[in-house]
Structure 1
Amino acid sequence: MWTQKLVHTKRGVFEIFETGSGEPLSVTHLYSEFNDRGYYFADRFADDFHVFLVNLKEAGQSDSVKDEIELSMSETCKDLEAVRTALGLEKWSFAGHSTGGMLGLVYASHHPDSLKRFIAGGAAATNEYMKHKDSIYSFKNPKNNRLKEIFTILASPEATKEERVQAGREWTKMSLYRPERFNEYFSVPSSGKVVQKRLDYYSYTELPDYDIKGDISKINTPSIIFCGKYDSQCPFVFSEEIHQLVPGSLFIVFEESNHFPHLEEREQFGEMVKRFLDLGVGN
């Protein structure tokens, strides 16, 4: 059960949802909005951590931005720091998937003293993933033309709700190793809808110059980097690159997953969470 709380910080008011007990863990995504239904990725940590699921600015009941620069990863990390401080936590850990994982890499490089450990998956350290032939976002990928049609449907005010639902379903299926198991994976209601303003800032302002390879090579926080072997959004080679750049990181590959190993290989993902909990213990 996820409980809502409004946290008043020096950088504004943030809506968070929390569950579980144990060490504090922050979870968010760069452009998603959450509610008391939780979030599939965050749910996997609830048995082992006290999870704080954070709605960033422009999401849910969190404050709006006064300047677009507040939507950047670096400013967002300052917001997470403000939330941590307001909660009275000296340190917490961070878990992020996809652009949430990218945000976690920036967080670990900019605020190393605030994180006990972090885990990032299905991510990339540069914008090169958008050009890779194995990414559905690349014009080199055979599914890219259909994906563009899907985006048109999702953005069209003339599309019916059912058309948008089916388009979103097809997009998600492109990112599953076994798309025929879609109904099984997503049978339980959850949250995480796209916050368009945040997505647009990432896509048109931050992504064109996105390259954090130099920054993450200086990270010294205990970390796990994970990826589905057949990831069609941020292909495997980009998680492998992150692992090679982050000193001392542990690299875990999910052999029968695409972009959602927390759903596609739940048991193995749970084992990874246990390893994450033990990471850095005794150091």
Structure 2
Amino acid sequence: MTWSRQIIETSRGTFEIFTKGHGRPMVVTHSYSEFNGTGDYFADCFTSIYKVYLVNLREAGHSAKAKEAHQLTLVESILDLEAIRESFSFKYWTFAGHSTGGILGILYSVLFPNRIEQQIIVGAAARDFTYSSPSCIYHQDHPHYQTMQILLEQLRSPDLTSEERKALTKDRTKLSLYHPEKYHTYFNQSITKKISPVRLLVFSRELLIFDITKKLSSCSVKSLIICGEHDVQCPLEFSIEMSEQLPNSTLFSFEHSNHYPFLEEKNRFEEVVTHYLTK
């Protein structure tokens, strides 16, 4: 079954959404990814249990454009998701987010706890993770910091061919795998996505002041927190922090995973998630 594309009219503009699966509604998105009909590795994990709504946020894909920069902030993105939910007339839905998608999920559950049935947050954080932990690859004390910065700088070049961009992206992703030599085993489907440059720019600036840890204790949403023990992007310590603060949360760490436990330990990930969602 392939992903079906639709354009949704909301009170806050039009949004491009891809759907797949059957059952109760689940929303999946990311702070700066541009999805298409090929789907998403993370979102595919849930289509056997839920009807998944894979959302291109404002300025991503064919969704509405931003008239002002503030429309691309995290809070405004949550308001856009709420407008999408209302357009579908869902009383609530489940949220699943990986990496910066998980950051959106945590914020969503704090702002609108009655609209989230439960959430699955993978490899994420409730505050800036780049400057506060040398375990993060974006921290200057991390041993692979320079390598990552060089790759990011090369990827910013507008003159790259598609093959050059694909090769650089692969090298960047390998830095976030516990077994980088297994890259082609993990990413073995014809799934492609892009990055929205303007959304990434706004997110990078906003992250410097992002911190909602003091709000977590008041959030009663049922939460499954998952993280690879070797995650170099959003290190495990941030998932532990969220789990300790969220009163209705469960934490699972994956011993042989970096930033992609849903690929690196696929079978265990599916077992944990299926048990959590169906119990």
What's the TM-score once normalised by structure 2's chain length?
0.97
SS in 2 for 1:36: coil
Q: How does 1:57-206 map onto structure 2 within 5 Å?
A: 57-204=58-205, 206=206
Task: Give the distance between the partners of 2:231 and 2:131, measured in 1 at CA.
Answer: 13
Paired residue for 1:236?
236
Determine the C-alpha separation between the residues in 2 that align with 1:154 and 1:141. 20
Equivalent in the alignment of 2:25: 24
Query: Given that residues 131 and 137 in structure 1 are in contact (C-alpha distance below 8 angstroms), is that contact kept between their aligned partners in structure 2?
Result: no
> 1:268 maps to which residue?
268
Matched residue type, 1:67: E
Q: Is the 8 A contact 1:57 1:71 kept in 2?
A: yes
CA distance in 2, matches of 1:28, 1:254: 22
Amino acid at match of 2:103: M
Letter in 2 for 1:183: H
Counterpart residue number, 1:13: 14
Query: 1:127 offset after TM fit, Å?
Result: 1.1
CA shift for structure 1 position 121: 1.2
RMSD of the TM alignment (CA)? 1.2
For 1:127, what is the secondary structure of its paired residue?
Answer: coil
Aligned to 1:191, the other structure's residue is in SS state coil
Q: Which stretches in structure 1 are left out of the alignment for 5+ residues?
A: none
Q: CA deviation at 1:157?
A: 3.0
Cα deviation for residue 125 of structure 1 reads 1.4
* AA at the equivalent of 2:236: F
1:34-54 superposed Cα distances (whole Å, 9 cap, x missing partner): 111100000000011010001
Letter in 2 for 1:260: Y
> How far apart are the structure 2 equivalents of 1:191 and 1:90?
32
How far has the Cα of 1:13 moved from its partner? 0.4
More deviation in 9-18 or 267-276? Answer: 267-276
Identity of aligned residues (%): 41
Task: Indicate if the aligned counterparts of 2:129 and 2:136 stay in contact, CA closer than 8 A.
Answer: no
Contact 1:131 1:140 in 2 (8 A): no
Question: What is the DSSP-based 3-state SS (H/G/I as helix, E as strand, rest coil) of the residue aligned with 2:218?
Answer: coil
2:129 and 2:234 in contact (8 A); partners too:
no
Render the CA deviation track for 1:54-104: whole Å, top value 9, x for unaligned. 110001111001111111111111111100110111111100010000000
